[in-house]
Chains A and B, each alone.
Chain A
Amino acid sequence: METQHTFSLIYARKPGILIRVALVLERRGYTIESMNTSPYDSNPDFWEMMLTTEGDPAKLEQVTRQLAKLIDVFAVQVLREVYC
């Protein structure tokens, strides 16, 4: 069953970051439903990306860890998991 997941990524706004995030998700079968970026209030070095995706919940931990591994990603949080 596919599940809807909402991620919050805190990241440094460096070239290629959107593609890098999309590649991690695409390779593991996660489709991006919405993406929103904005300056991160707590730290001027970073921006925040809110991502809603749909994918296999069994791969959620691996997807999260691979996103966190990106050089320009500071932190990843899974905010919401909705079964659909």
Chain B
Amino acid sequence: MESAKNGAQVLIEILEQLGVEYIFGYSGGAALPLFDALYHSSIKLILTRHEQGATHMADGYARVTGKPGVVLVTSGPGATNTITGMMTAQMDSVPMIVLTGQTITSLLGLDAFQEADIFGMTMSVVKHNYLIKNTADISRITREAFHIATSGRPGPVLIDLPKDVTSAPFNGSLTDQIDLPAFQLPARPNPESIQSLADLINQSHKPILLVGHGALLSGAAPEVRALAELIQAPVTNTLLGKGGFPETHPLSLGMLGMYGTVYANKALLECDLILSIGCRWDDRINGNPKKFCPQAKKLHIDIDPAEIGKIVVPDAYAIGDAKQVLQELLPLVHPLDTEKWLERVQELKRLYPLQYRPFNGNIPEGSASLRAQHVIDVLYQLTNGNAIITTDVGQHQMWAAQYFKTDQPDTWLSSGGAGTMGFGFPAAIGAQLARPDQQVIAIVGDGGFQMTLCELSTAALHKLPLKILVIDNKYLGMVRQWQEFFLDGRYSGTDLEGNPDFCMLAQAYGVKAFRITKEEELEQTLAEALAYQSGPCLIHAEVVKEDNVFPMIPAGQSIHEMITESPTVPLQMPEGST
């Protein structure tokens, strides 16, 4: 049937049908028909200042809503600029649709202007991708892309759209359904595998629950809590598992792993069973998989069969959606006698509390007079923890994870697997658009913020009341910390001396700015910034240059090698990953 609409108009119409509210994008020649089709659409276009920013905004939007974030960019460099954002989403299982313009089909492979083989280039950073060569396929492929991005373990899907395909009249069927004969959704969890989890849990005296991002993605927080309270097991969480179980709950051990709490990591050494709920045992968690909790039975719940046995060979496992598995597991387990175990865990908490020392006026000679941990701690107190937090990667991220406790699901947005600098601020823009009534705070480092700070324009334009807390130590702090410990203090390529005055920078974009340099200013200035609602505001916190994140387990080492204070002699460079 001949349609009056062209391919681009049909595509946008399908996006409207699929409930897309926002498109984060940046225009260009090959994407002209798509942007033209958006002109009269109900979908709101958020014009960013860089394509990477668009992907992280879509990511932030997706992490708080569970709906795929949609990105629209042009061909060539516009498309390649989205690669970091897709890889970030892929590593953290975030649903995302990336639409890229492309040169016309007759020029494909001829090195045309702004031609990039984005289909070939992105295969290893997406869940799936497409290059549409026929306008008639637009309806089917768009529906397939959404289905793939959101089902099972979520992830990004890219659709490359040549300009002649989007401008040609659409002569296909708008109601074309998906055609994915080989794609299989996760089956119902096998009841026998759930019984095998229950059998081991029922024999345990010292269990620990390990909550990962999968628990949040499946909305399993209520079931995690029900299980923990039923069997009286302490609960630890990964960086991305923050919010899967309230970190202020008496059974919570907070975050485990490389920069996790001492008590979570020590409890792992003593437990007799560890049940991972949607955590993939990555190298930040296990240190060295050969030495990871040899004494404990390891149980694994994951929706992705490829995660079972990838790092840790489990004693029992169930493949399926975490919420569904837990719902079926709950009637099969009974309350355990863990009284002594919980006493021991409490003792560990007393012996090795998570703490930092504020200066309280005793400022070392020549030092800045503010510690980053103190800033984050006060922010936590002032907000009562009631905020959506986004971060970049590095020291500030770990301090935020440690001192800004997360109680609610989908309020902690951080680039975990990819460790993407520049993620936090644009992700906060996406989160604030999705949750206009909630307090959204980007806690970023001076390094990461400078990678995507051009989005100050975007935030200012839409008057988004988000807060940007720049923890400025004028270093790539985490890398510097490693150089201090393992490379005799040779600070090669980590000194960011010459940073701009972030307050003046914000003001240049019309963004309100606050500066904190002293402990005495901390509470009042943060309170003022939090009260500011007329648009975005930036808080520039100038903190101690050389400060370290503790505790720390050097990469590739076991929990026994945990460092809790600055070493006095140089340590050997760890062999594990970075």
Enumerate chain A interface residues (CB-CB to B < 8 A): 10-12, 15-16, 19-20, 23, 27, 45-46, 61-62, 65-66, 68-69, 71-74
**Contact (A69, B305) CB under 8 Å given A15-B130, A16-B123, A19-B123:** yes
Nearest 7 pairs of A and B residues by beta carbon: A74-B182, A65-B306, A12-B182, A45-B181, A71-B128, A72-B182, A69-B306
The answer for the CA separation of A70 and B218 in the assembled complex, in Å, is 21
Smallest distance from the beta carbon of A16 to chain B beta carbons, Å? 7
Q: Which residues of A contact B182 (CB under 8 A)?
A: 10-12, 45-46, 71-74
Contact of B183 with A71 in the complex, beta carbons under 8 Å: yes
Contact of B127 with A71 in the complex, beta carbons under 8 Å: yes
Contact of B180 with A71 in the complex, beta carbons under 8 Å: yes
Smallest distance from the beta carbon of A47 to chain B beta carbons, Å? 10
Near A by CB (< 8 A), chain B positions 114-140 give: 119-120, 123-124, 127-131
Contact of B130 with A72 in the complex, beta carbons under 8 Å: no
Contact of A16 with B183 in the complex, beta carbons under 8 Å: no
B21 close to A (CB within 8 Å): no
Contact of B309 with A23 in the complex, beta carbons under 8 Å: no
A-B contact count (CB 8 A): 49
The answer for the CA separation of A14 and B270 in the assembled complex, in Å, is 50
Smallest distance from the beta carbon of B521 to chain A beta carbons, Å? 50
Contact of A61 with B309 in the complex, beta carbons under 8 Å: yes
B290-313 vs A: 1/0 string, CB under 8 Å? 000000000000001110111000
Q: Which residues of A contact B456 (CB under 8 A)?
A: none
The answer for the CA separation of A69 and B185 in the assembled complex, in Å, is 11
B148 close to A (CB within 8 Å): yes
Q: Which residues of A contact B128 (CB under 8 A)?
A: 71
Contact of B131 with A15 in the complex, beta carbons under 8 Å: yes
The answer for the CA separation of A74 and B183 in the assembled complex, in Å, is 7
Known: A12-B182, A71-B183. 19 other contacts (CB 8 A): A11-B182, A12-B180, A15-B119, A16-B120, A16-B123, A19-B120, A20-B123, A23-B124, A45-B182, A46-B181, A46-B182, A61-B309, A65-B305, A65-B306, A69-B306, A71-B127, A71-B148, A72-B180, A74-B184
**Contact (A74, B181) CB under 8 Å given A20-B123, A23-B123, A69-B305:** yes
Smallest distance from the beta carbon of A72 to chain B beta carbons, Å? 5
Smallest distance from the beta carbon of A48 to chain B beta carbons, Å? 12
22 sample A-B contacts, Cβ–Cβ < 8 Å, listed by A number: A11-B182, A12-B180, A12-B182, A15-B119, A15-B130, A16-B120, A16-B129, A46-B181, A46-B182, A62-B306, A62-B310, A65-B308, A65-B310, A68-B305, A68-B306, A69-B304, A69-B305, A69-B306, A71-B128, A71-B183, A72-B183, A74-B181
Q: Which residues of A contact B148 (CB under 8 A)?
A: 71
CB nearest neighbor in B for A61:
B309
Q: Which residues of B contact A11 (CB under 8 A)?
A: 182
